[in-house]
Chains A and B, each alone.
Chain A
């Protein structure tokens, strides 16, 4: 048996692709594919449409559009089976098609990622269960980049924290189990947060279940797969609940800002074509103001690590993106100019021509990113961007939040988007363990007046998520029950969350992504994998603590002040298996090359990813571990509060 290869994300996408295509192959003949909209993006990352066509897919449909026609006999549904609503939609479509039916349709349903009891029941009640072939399509992690895996569960945030629905915990556990089966058990599971604890418990239980069932089958040979992994160092689970403020802040990296301004879905962003110049008939004066040209064509742009220019830009602070672009432009120009000089010998010419496509591609991407950056600058210069940012920075640096209230009130009066206001309010509430009852009441009234009475529901949802609370209500002050709320004032000091001397151009600390604030979640990860560095940062010139501390050691005090359970479990395999493993690998495997899996339960924002990549780079320089970021979904602040916002309105006139 080969030792576990080091974790590789392309393996995962390869496997997912194979699984999917195999399923499609199982349905004979041509077929129409019905997709859930949320799955279209991830699917696009895995397979090209032309490949799907090769496998007999005739036309793709969206489930939401409700327009499947009967042009093909076979109809394949590829949908998530977790939500009763989508299952109902599937059932309705099948019924509709059957009633229309001149042709005898054959239905297949692929539940992503698993078949549930509920879905079966709903289908049965609708009377269509017997007519469809139901299978599972185990699509879990979808690699978005080399070091980034996502489950792409867009609703997981509201599921977890608003409706307290643990489905996504279960799905995460399943996904992580698959990793374990392939690469061996995580030798250590460290985490923070109540839901994270639940996930870890689930993982441990699943593992024992698996071992139990294996031994009862008498299969003694496969236990090697469940020994501590030699390629993975540990799993770190961070619950989003632990660190809401980070996602509520405006992200200041290039990628983060693209997400804030345009939105990114499965590595694709949709930008007004007038900005990036795909539709020439649009007069350039109109560029940018989406309100002027709402009917303008949207252009989809794939942004991923294939674009080398984007790679260098995506994680840097936006303040320096302009300079970077400028530099690249200069370089390109000079290489073009060198053409005239270089066109002496044919060999040189040939060399130049060979490089030409590369240059052209680079030029195109340069043009694209320059126009994107310009658009973002336009956005960031507006007062609607700078004022909230100012408030955010003040709150995070620990200024008295009451001084910010006037600004927030003014912003409400000026009717800036509700989500921005809610982000600010929630931020204040989260960092200060709730707001004073009187202030909160005033703000609630202002929000209702400003944005409509239907937001009564919004506010109560936010309260339920623990985002917007009154101080010392129920939960008790921070002193009453340590671990139930995050005590920011103390954590700010002990983990050095605020950095006054940020260097955006040449970052020396993760605080550069937010221009000052070092996100708590990433600091937690650092406190596990980068102890020396962090310890030196927190206590400059202090006594260096013991070298080989593991787990939470050194930072227990800080962790205590943060909301949610803290845990640290080690998983060891059977003695014999471990020994066998060591024999296979040659004992004394060094620490280098091992992977630390960081799992964000409830989503991660792009700025955090940037910060983690920065940490990873530092680790790699030290010849140490690799970081692999896993998450349920990529989120941004608007999404967090958006989960709570009530979209209905009183009145149909609008």
Chain B
């Protein structure tokens, strides 16, 4: 399945990537040792889909970011709601979320918001 993942990395558009990942996931589905990997691949698919949606609404630059980076970018663009949605979707811990929020707001120089925290 690693091979399929690296193939997925080489694909150019989101849909074909997701196809490849699905194949990779299928290989691992029945194995008990690879539950973590299976879950991660699943997460990747969902993330890619979300990033696709964000790109349509907010402009390019989302695809390929990690989950934390996605939230970072969303907060930077002022999209708190969506960032929170990402957080709940991938069960990101509160602590991590606050760190990201802090960093993003500093970059944005949004001192008002920072004080509210």
Contact = CB atoms under 8 A, between A and B. Distances in A.
Contact of A449 (B5, B12, B61, B90): B90
B5 A456 contact: yes
Interface in B58-117: 60-69, 72, 90, 92, 95-96, 99-100, 103
A49 interface: no
A452 B63 contact: no
B99 A457 contact: no
B95 A453 contact: no
Contacts of A460: 2, 37
A652 interface: yes
B31 interface: no
A453 B47 contact: yes
B63 A653 contact: yes
Interface in A452-504: 452-454, 456-457, 460
Contact of B63 (A450, A456, A651): A651
A650 B8 contact: yes
Nearest to B10: A648
Contacts of A14: none
Contacts of B72: 415
A457 B6 contact: yes
A452 B69 contact: yes
A651 B96 CA distance: 24
Contact of B61 (A444, A457, A653): A653
Interface in A565-624: none
B66 A653 contact: no
A387 to B, nearest CB: 14
B66 A648 contact: no
Most buried by A among B17, B64, B72: B64
B69 to A, nearest CB: 7
A546 interface: no
Contacts of B62: 651, 653
Contact of A454 (B9, B36, B67, B99): B9
A451 B62 CA distance: 14
Interface in A622-654: 646, 648-654
A436 to B, nearest CB: 14
A413 B60 contact: no
B95 A448 contact: no
B43 interface: yes
Contact of A651 (B2, B6, B51, B95): B51
B99 A414 contact: yes
A460 B6 CA distance: 12
A383 interface: no
A412 B95 CA distance: 11
A413 B10 contact: no
A410 B44 contact: no
A648 B6 CA distance: 8
A456 B4 CA distance: 12
Interface string B3-28: 00110111010000100000000000
B50 interface: no
Contacts of B10: 648
B8 to A, nearest CB: 7
A143 B12 CA distance: 45
A448 B40 contact: yes
A649 B99 contact: no
A450 B68 contact: yes
Interface in A390-428: 409-410, 412-415
Nearest to B60: A653
Contacts of A650: 8-9, 17, 44, 48, 63-64
Contacts of A457: 2, 5-6
A648 B11 CA distance: 11
Given A452-B66, A651-B63, A653-B60, A441 B36 contact: yes
A414 B103 contact: yes
B33 to A, nearest CB: 9
A629 B84 CA distance: 55
B103 A448 contact: no
Nearest to A474: B33
Contacts of B2: 456-457, 460
B46 to A, nearest CB: 10
Contacts of B65: 452, 651, 654
Nearest to A440: B36
A605 B5 CA distance: 33
Q: Which of A415, A453, A648 has the most CB of B within 10 A?
A: A453
A409 B93 CA distance: 11
A582 B58 CA distance: 83
A652 B61 CA distance: 9
Contacts of B51: 651
Contacts of B103: 414-415
A440 B104 CA distance: 28
A239 to B, nearest CB: 26
B73 to A, nearest CB: 11
A654 B64 contact: yes
Contacts of A444: 36, 40
A654 B95 CA distance: 27
A413 B47 contact: no
Contacts of A454: 5, 9
B6 A652 contact: no
A342 to B, nearest CB: 58
A460 B10 CA distance: 18
Interface string A300-335: 000000000000000000000000000000000000
Nearest to B59: A653
Contacts of B68: 413, 415, 449-451
A447 to B, nearest CB: 9
Between B2, B9, B55, the greatest number of chain A beta carbons within 10 A of the residue's beta carbon is seen for B9
B82 to A, nearest CB: 16
B98 to A, nearest CB: 8
Contacts of A451: 66, 68
B99 A448 contact: no
Q: Which of A650, A652, A654 has the most CB of B within 10 A?
A: A650
Nearest to B66: A452
Nearest to B67: A449
Contacts of B5: 454, 456-457
Contact of B92 (A449, A456, A648, A652): A449
14 contacts: A410-B99, A413-B99, A415-B69, A446-B96, A449-B66, A449-B90, A450-B96, A453-B66, A456-B2, A646-B6, A650-B63, A650-B64, A652-B12, A652-B63
Interface of A: 409-410, 412-415, 441, 444-446, 448-454, 456-457, 460, 646, 648-654
Q: Which 7 A-B pairs have the closest CB atoms?
A: A651-B64, A651-B63, A452-B66, A413-B99, A648-B9, A453-B44, A449-B67
Given A453-B43, A460-B2, A650-B64, 6 more contacts: A415-B103, A448-B40, A452-B69, A454-B5, A457-B6, A650-B8
